[in-house]
A and B are shown apart, each in its own frame.
Chain A
Amino acid sequence: MKKLVALLLVLILGLGTLSGCSKKSETPQKKSFKIGIVQPMDHPSLNQIRETIISELKAQGMGDKVEIITKNANGDMNLLPSIMQEFVNSNVDMIVPIATPAAQAARASTKTIPIVFSAVSNPVEAGLVTSFEETTGNITGVSNSIPIEDIFKLAATITPKAKTFGLVYNSSEINSTSGIKKAKSYCDQNGIKYKEAAITGTADLQQAASSLVGQIDAFFTPNDNTVASAMATYVKVATDAKLPIYAGADSMVKDGALATVGIDYTKLGKQTAAMVARIVNGQTIKENHVEQVAEYANMINISTADKLGITISDELKQKFVILGK
């Protein structure tokens, strides 16, 4: 019993001292605006958003005005509430959650601190806001749903013979499943056939993609974080089978997918940073309704095209950012 009391006392004292420290350092520089950025895991696209937000705020000359704290749940969704409580505890002036689960955890932990989310595909379905047109609570941000139709139209231009698409995605990612839903309804309306292969983690990807080979003419994957983490595996299966991958994010094309009209995470980060800056400078959440990402990345990977024996017309080459070679 003594041990237990001692251990508890040490922990509580430790916590007390630490929180005391942070409060002390706060008072002299009361002007500083504290921003807490949270991401649920380390991931190329999410890291890109975080870095862009930080660099963009600095570029706008807010380096002295804002103090940025970054936290990462290291892939453990159950840590997100604790991280949010930590932010509330250290009196941050704004929370910037990246991706849906982080935004939901932020939404649940405070009703007063302004929240500006980034990279949430469907904020209405995620229960963050009631509509895109108006913001009533303390939360707004930038949504990143992808232009599914444009991707399929691009596929029709580059590989007009592709009649059956293989949809590869993680069934537990809401951003991905909502993209797949849109893709299916587009395919149904336009007489395109599709076959699905859902995965639950990066370990399933190779087998899932291979299972579709022979039945399809091209792969399609939305902005799926799990697939993006294991692009190399996916690209290998596709290249071996001489099938193109149409993807929903620029990072995937950089990693070997054929083409995208998808999310440019740098642009998404810049747009989020701009909204953050407006609110730091005195605007209210009410004045900033939820924005859709304004610009998409148009990208073609020419090395992949060469490997697949696909020729890209000069017209497309001028309209798209060409990667590879």
Chain B
Amino acid sequence: MTLLIGSIQLGLLYAIMALGIYITFRILNLPDLTVDGSFSLGMACAAVATICGHPFLALFIAVAAGAVAGLATGLLHTKLSIHPILAGILVMTGLYTVNLAIMGGKGNLSVVGSKTIFSMIESMFTAQGEMGKTLLALSICIIIIVILAIAFKTRFGLAIRATGDNEDMVRSSSINASVSKCIALSTGNACVALSGALICQYQMFSDVGSGSGMVIIGLASVIIGETVFGRRSVTIGLISAAFGSILYRIILAFALKIDMFPAYALKLISAVIVIIALSGPSIKAIIRQNKIRREVQTVKKAQ
């Protein structure tokens, strides 16, 4: 049970990052690689603020820092016309130094002994500490989804969605596409940094290398979620991204449980499980098609 609960907790915390990736990759339709850097940025800011005794402020500082990082990518892309992928890579690369500088030149910072939002909720719930942590993660996740869902229904939110769908159309209807792009990138990276901050407080340390591979994890979560829910409205999309993240963590837990193979086989096992999970709908479709084909053939033969 510990593993399942732990996986759900991690899934909920990483879900916020998946939401950020959903905003940039799906709503804005822009491959944003800033994520690897902004995740560590959130961690670094949160670690320093938490050590100073401000676990709540830490989350807001992380959000602000992430938003600035996203804005930087947006400005590089829109003002200096740098290709969005390169703009993301540049900001991510630069953030490595920024993150080390924030953590005082150390690659790894421990927040053990400082108050975190998780240690506070644990002492509040005493006997049901794990339950408290899960509820906390769940409520943060729900709050963020609600905020984003409402934001993307406002006039400005619609402009961002339109920018992702058809930039030319947006420009011709005199909406400033650059502004929508910058705001969307800011929001996305703010989510990613918040996720990093929460993970830092959850695992009680911040490591400058933690962000690497985050884009892939986030994308996997978004797509796993889409396979389950299908691509529908933005609200459903946000929920499915969060759900995909939880599912991804459960899949990893499942891969960890399999003891038949040597320890280094972990990555392949998790890849295979993800393939199996994703191939479900297509296999179903193939079976359905074969069935129809057979039926048609029998009808033809009968004629």
Closest A residue by C-beta to B100: A171
What range describes how many residues of B lie at the interface?
35 or more
B257 part of interface (Cβ distance < 8 Å): yes
CB neighbours of A44 from chain B (8 A):
none
Q: Which of A82-90, A205-213, A254-262, A281-289 contacts B (4 or more CB under 8 A)?
A: A82-90
Instruction: Tell me the bound Cα distance from A168 to B7 in angstroms.
Output: 38
Find the residue from A12, A71, A86, A90 having the highest chain B CB count within 10 A.
A86
- Decide: B202 and A86 in contact? CB cutoff 8 A: no
In the complex with contacts A11-B250, A81-B10, A86-B96 CB distance below 8 A: no
Interface string of B169-207 (1 = CB under 8 A from A): 000000000000000000000000000000100111101
**Of A3, A11, A85, A107, which one neighbours B251 at CB under 8 angstroms?**
A11
- Decide: A82 and B108 in contact? CB cutoff 8 A: no
Which residues of A from 1 to 27 have beta carbons under 8 Å from B? Answer: 3-4, 7-8, 11-12, 14-15, 18-19
Chain B nearest Cβ from A271, distance in angstroms = 23
Interface string of A76-108 (1 = CB under 8 A from B): 111111110110111000000000110011011
- Decide: B96 and A82 in contact? CB cutoff 8 A: no
B141 part of interface (Cβ distance < 8 Å): no
Find the residue from B96, B203, B208, B280 having the highest chain A CB count within 10 A.
B203
CB neighbours of B81 from chain A (8 A):
none
- Decide: A42 and B3 in contact? CB cutoff 8 A: no
Chain B nearest Cβ from A69, distance in angstroms = 7
A173 part of interface (Cβ distance < 8 Å): yes
Which residues of B from 239 to 256 have beta carbons under 8 Å from A? Answer: 243, 247, 249-254, 256
Chain B residues with CB under 8 Å of chain A are 1-7, 10, 14, 96, 100, 105-108, 110-113, 199, 202-205, 207-210, 213, 217, 228-229, 243, 247, 249-254, 256-259, 263-264, 266-267, 277, 280-281
Chain A residues with CB under 8 Å of chain B are 3-4, 7-8, 11-12, 14-15, 18-19, 42, 69-74, 76-83, 85-86, 88-90, 100-101, 104-105, 107-109, 125-128, 170-174, 176-177, 200
Closest 9 CB pairs of A and B: A127-B110, A85-B6, A127-B112, A89-B3, A172-B107, A72-B263, A174-B108, A89-B2, A108-B204
A sample of 9 more A-B contacts (CB under 8 A), given A73-B266, A77-B207, A105-B203, is A3-B280, A78-B210, A78-B213, A81-B203, A82-B3, A82-B6, A85-B5, A85-B6, A174-B107
